[in-house]
Structure 1
Amino acid sequence: MAPTMPFLTIELTQIHNKGAIEMLERELIPQTIELLRDAFTIRNEMNEYSCLRMMEFFIDEMKFLEVDIQFIAYEIAHQKAENILQPMKQFDFKTVQKIEQMLIYI
């Protein structure tokens, strides 16, 4: 029988705690959007692949954490990061359409 790891159970419980997810949203999402904005601003052939992979990870995390799309739209507008929307469409077209609609009213 494998030994149990109570610390791992505690960590997983904390990650799925709504408060922890909100903290991740409020702290990591703005930083990630800033990073993506800058990466896609200076994008060239050499870092094209890295930019798209970073975007793919961001989209996957948004879906996994069920991030508030309105918060993402606000951060995109606040940071003037509209340049990340076009590449984002490759991974999640419907979500980007929702974000674009929200940007009209922000």
Structure 2
Amino acid sequence: MPTKLVLVVRTDLDMGKGKIAAQVAHAAVAAALGTLSTPGFRTWLREGQPKVVLRVSGEDALRQVCADAEAAGLPVQLIQDAGRTQVAAGTATCCAVGPAAVADVDRVTGALPLL
């Protein structure tokens, strides 16, 4: 069964490209570490760690993705910034959903646009 990791980024924060890259990297690392001992992680690793980066317009939408993922039983990691550069400390910047089965992840994130 194919797997993937979806990273969802807020676009209302006007983060620079480097900041977005760092936040997505935080989310990917947190997702990998959070699922390290699971069969889904092993499958995802074996498949080449497929990832997709999507966007939401604001914090409410990001938190809704997290809530929907949790309700679906999917691994989810919410990233909150440390506040050292472009956004205030504690700002929710992005999240990771998965790694998990593509069909399960798509039920939560499939309608979101690409970043």
Indicate the structure whose relative CO is greater, using CA pairs within 8 Å and at least 6 residues apart. Answer: 2
- Report which of the two structures shows the higher radius of gyration computed on alpha carbons: 1
**More helix, by proportion:** 1
**More strand, by proportion:** 2
